[in-house]
A and B are shown apart, each in its own frame.
Chain A
């Protein structure tokens, strides 16, 4: 049996709130509580990027939190997957187009699974994580790349544009 088969059996979660209202966070914590008990799948909420496999992000990315988000993502060793919990993390949700809000998580780091709902329900979160596990199993270590945005003013524009400008800063052609 290959080692990658065991990724599915012990997913360790890192949970980061990028500026949401805490509604999704308590749903994630509800997953750990006796009713849903995701520890029976071997999941642990580690709180430590260096030892976790799944990054659960909630809330819209604010101007203050985007550097931390990218930093945390780049500190996680590959293979890793990112799951967006709640509509805020997917697209900005109710905070979209506010002056302090940058929009969805996928503008800064590659996202694998989107979980919708404003408070995403625990069942949905578990579904999303299970989906992420099948992606995690297929991933190779070389697939992920991060986008560093230090001191870069954020322009309005499409997701793709923003990611490309950021990539151009790292590797100027």
Chain B
């Protein structure tokens, strides 16, 4: 089951993205594109001429995709949470390197902002992982999947903290400074084209699966609760995306370090004391 999920993760992620585009359009009273739209985009991009900036740029984009898939596999197979977080960080830093390796100003801006958003969500994730350790006595995701009681009721504050940093990770308003489509037209992904853009394009789908698996962790061994949580987070992030405008990166950093981080930290202290 898990192996299947890992192998077909890009496909499932693409379906989620397609579904999300429909839901977002319906929220704006539009009809929206068909469900398979991300795959049409994918196949069309495969047909376009490749305009490589230079080979290491394209290679870094591909490695971003592969290392993200690897991080996802480690998470789903029940690996060490700290390791998973750092593998995810590694894949993001490959993308940042790719952004800095071109001479485009927008690409540099996007890479800068991606680095800042890593700064915003990474500490929170680490603190959440540590509080999971305090609760279950182990850093592995497998121990969470087999934990009898759902983690959600033991660490609700950490869940709220995760909910507040997910828009940063999924590049959604109000914290989509890294993507900022109307402002820097995608940032780091700007210089990718043709088949090499697909690596970055599908990496976003993998990121969705990654985020929803993190959400699923909070349900422990309770599958129904897990699915309910994923549905809730799905609608929450989309409603948030549709109803807010972008904040600037300083506000994002301040918010996530002041609110999300302290929520997660308070949760950690409660977990230690109890």
Interface residues of A (CB under 8 A from B): 3-4, 6-7, 9-10, 12, 34, 37, 39-42, 46-48, 50-51, 53, 75, 77-79, 141
Contact = CB atoms under 8 A, between A and B. Distances in A.
B185 A48 contact: yes
B40 interface: yes
A39 B30 contact: yes
B47 A4 contact: yes
Interface residues of B, number: 31
B137 interface: no
B29 A34 contact: yes
B61 to A, nearest CB: 13
A62 to B, nearest CB: 23
6 contacts: A3-B47, A6-B47, A34-B30, A42-B33, A51-B193, A53-B44
B105 interface: no
B123 interface: no
A12 B33 CA distance: 13
Contacts of B194: 77
Given A6-B40, A46-B185, A34 B28 contact: yes
Interface in B176-218: 181-182, 185-186, 190-194, 197
A42 B37 contact: yes
Given A6-B43, A42-B34, 8 more contacts: A3-B44, A9-B44, A10-B37, A34-B29, A47-B182, A50-B190, A50-B191, A79-B47
B100 to A, nearest CB: 17
B50 interface: yes
Contacts of A9: 37, 40, 44
B269 interface: no
Contacts of B40: 6, 9-10, 42
B31 interface: yes
A73 B30 CA distance: 31
Residue from the set A7, A37, A51 with the largest chain B CB neighbour count within 10 Å: A51
A31 to B, nearest CB: 12
B30 A40 contact: yes
A37 B30 contact: yes
A40 B29 CA distance: 12
A42 B31 CA distance: 11
Contacts of B2: none
B49 A78 contact: yes
B48 interface: yes
A141 B51 CA distance: 13
A6 B197 CA distance: 17
B41 A42 contact: yes
A95 to B, nearest CB: 28
B47 A40 contact: no
B25 interface: yes
Interface string B94-134: 00000000000000000000000000000000000000000
A84 to B, nearest CB: 22
Nearest to B45: A51
Nearest to B49: A77
B79 interface: no
Return the 8 tightest CB-CB contacts between A and B, nearest first. A50-B193, A77-B49, A9-B40, A3-B47, A6-B43, A47-B185, A10-B40, A37-B30
B54 to A, nearest CB: 14
B33 A51 contact: no
Nearest to B21: A39
A10 B47 contact: no
A77 B29 contact: no
A77 B44 CA distance: 12
Contacts of B29: 34
A10 B254 CA distance: 38
Interface string B8-34: 000000000000010001001111111
Residue from the set A37, A46, A50 with the largest chain B CB neighbour count within 10 Å: A50
Residue from the set B25, B48, B194 with the largest chain A CB neighbour count within 10 Å: B48
